[in-house]
Structure 1
């Protein structure tokens, strides 16, 4: 995690002077969505703009859950399902590192910052109801810690899909499995409706998690075929009897025979 944060800081530090490039990339994403008739940002954002109570709820969702749910699921998996922790952690780290490199190589302005884009900055509009700053979802005075051009891909959606899939797959209670299914869907709606991401950003973020999850499954399957399944020892009647005799032989005799004089 420390290494990933270092990469993020480097990519954020290199963003200075990237405004024209980021604007151009953001508009490219917008044109691509228009070309394939898959651009729901405007109607979702306009509807949320006219629903202030829901807008505040979405702002809290966007500014809070991203930083709470992911580490909570990681700790839960480590404690409750340690056999699945390593592969899940590797998938999360690999997808995050790839996204950070993407922010460096392909900076993209989010819809809320595109000039004359017609998208409202919902999080900034309800700033007086939350703890975040008007610039970003970071607390007031800490907006400089956030890369404004880290839009493609969406780690909000990628991490939500990672968390949701693990909850759905390993949670025992139905309510938590249902939360696992709903969480990435709600996250996608929130990041698009608040103007923080294009739908394409969300799809690529989800694709990253799916890709590295599939690669991890392929690697583990290949390893199982190469080394074979682990053979478990099943005691038989004769082996159990032999084990009992060995244990008895190692125990001290409660009535030892006195040595001859």
Structure 2
């Protein structure tokens, strides 16, 4: 594990600044026009089956939502529409994705940290045993290419440096950039399905490596296996890889590859830009080579990451059952949840949406009472 003193002082500023810049850029390029927001709410209000009398009689304006096997009531947040927080979120809906990503990231990291702090020496022995089983299976299937790949890369200093830096610094920024891009250019349903798939990948992977810990190649005895921890011995340190509370016995499955597979395949299928589709599939291939050459994962870890993404994609709609919790959260914050991207895009793309009144409206209506 890298030590803090191995990290350049500027990294503590530049690396978080890069992530913050990408998140900010995502919010700006996905900004909604105030006139579109007002008109979309007007159209949605006209389509709503709820009568105005029922809204005035019941300020809570209860609505029913599914929560796994139950149907429960949650209060509508529409009454908070003109609060400044609601208006800000409506204009910058990608902030919701920032919140989702941060919540997922920190829950995942905290869970791994707790696991790392509570594991004993017997767990390390078990993880090494599982790693040796993977090595044996790979040898039986003639898939044990990691060591040969590492030797090839280590003979080329420029390639080793590139692979080390890619592993240490690309995963998180690339994921954020993908989220911002896909929010802008994918259809709303595809974006939401992809985002839910990535979230569920974390949950499934945590279950697997919690119940079946596996030591990465770099931690196996060098005398017996010959793997070198190129990332840390080469001092290719990053603040993302310097964490004394990190669970290092979580090689299987590889989320590095799982995420890259989802990102690459999604861009290849759904990107409207030819150049993006052309280069997209090189990303998972690059990550696959990087995780093996740096001795952080076995090729079977990548196979495990692939199957985790398949299962996550098939089950991603399960996360929709958490929507009532989200609604209650916004109600407690006294903020309206931004209009769903599916509904918003379907309204503004409809033929009847653009009118002369809409074209002439300024930014001011968003700051005043919503017209009837």
TM-score by length of 1: 0.74
Tell me the distance in 2 between the aligned counterparts of 1:74 and 1:12.
29
Please state how far the C-alpha of 1:84 moved relative to its aligned partner: 1.8
Mapped contact 1:15–1:104 kept (Cα < 8 A):
no
Q: CA deviation at 1:215?
A: 4.7
Aligned-pair CA distance for 1:6: 3.8
Specify which of 167, 181, 189 is matched with residue 76 of structure 1.
Answer: 181
| Separation of aligned partners in 2, 1:154 and 1:73 | 19
Please, which runs of 5 or more residues in structure 2 have no aligned partner? 1-103, 318-349, 353-372
Once the two structures are superposed, what CA deviation does each residue of 1:154-175 show, in whole Å capped at 9, x if it has no partner? Answer: 0100010011112112222222
Aligned Cα root-mean-square deviation (Å): 2.5
Check if 1:202 corresponds to 2:302: yes
Offset of 1:104 from its aligned partner? 1.0
The answer for the alignment partner of 1:112 in structure 2 is: 218
Residue of structure 1 in register with 2:113 after alignment: 9
Q: Of 172, 183, 188, which aligns to 2:272?
A: 172
Higher relative contact order (CA 8 A, sep 6+): 2
Q: CA deviation at 1:214?
A: 4.1
Deviation at 1:87, TM superposition (A): 1.0
Which range is displaced more, 38-47 or 170-179? 170-179
Query: What is the TM-score normalised by the length of structure 2?
Result: 0.53
CA deviations 1:1-55 (Å, max 9, x no partner) are: 1443443333333334221111111111111111111110111011112111110
**Is residue 156 of structure 1 aligned with residue 256 of structure 2?**
yes
Question: Does the alignment pair 1:51 with 2:156?
Answer: yes
> Is the CA contact (8 Å cut-off) linking 2:268 and 2:278 kept in structure 1?
yes
User: For residues 1-261 of structure 1, what are the structure 2 equivalents within 5 Å?
Assistant: 1=104, 2-17=106-121, 18-81=123-186, 82-115=188-221, 116-127=224-235, 130-132=236-238, 138=241, 142-215=242-315
Q: How far apart, CA to CA, are the structure 1 residues paired with 2:280 and 2:117?
A: 35
Q: Offset at 1:152?
A: 0.3
Query: 2:230, 2:117 → 1: CA distance?
Result: 26
The question of whether the paired residues in 2 share the 8 Å contact of 1:77 and 1:85 is answered with: yes
The 8 Å contact of residues 95 and 212 in structure 1, kept in 2 or not, is answered as yes
Quick check: 1:11–1:103 contact (8 Å CA) kept in 2?
A: no
Which residue of the partner structure matches residue 255 of structure 1? none
Q: Judging changes above 3 Å, is the alpha-carbon distance between structure 1 residues 35 and 10 closer, same or farther for their aligned structure 2 residues?
A: same
Q: SS of the counterpart of 1:152?
A: coil
**Does structure 2 retain, via aligned residues, the 8 Å contact 1:46–1:119?**
no
Q: Give the count of matched residue pairs.
A: 214
* SS of corresponding position for 1:143: coil
The CA distance in 1 between the partners of 2:108 and 2:234, in whole Å, is: 31
Deviations 1:137-192 (A, max 9, x none): 61xxx331321111000010001001111211222222211221110011101101
1:59, distance to aligned residue in structure 2 (A) = 0.3
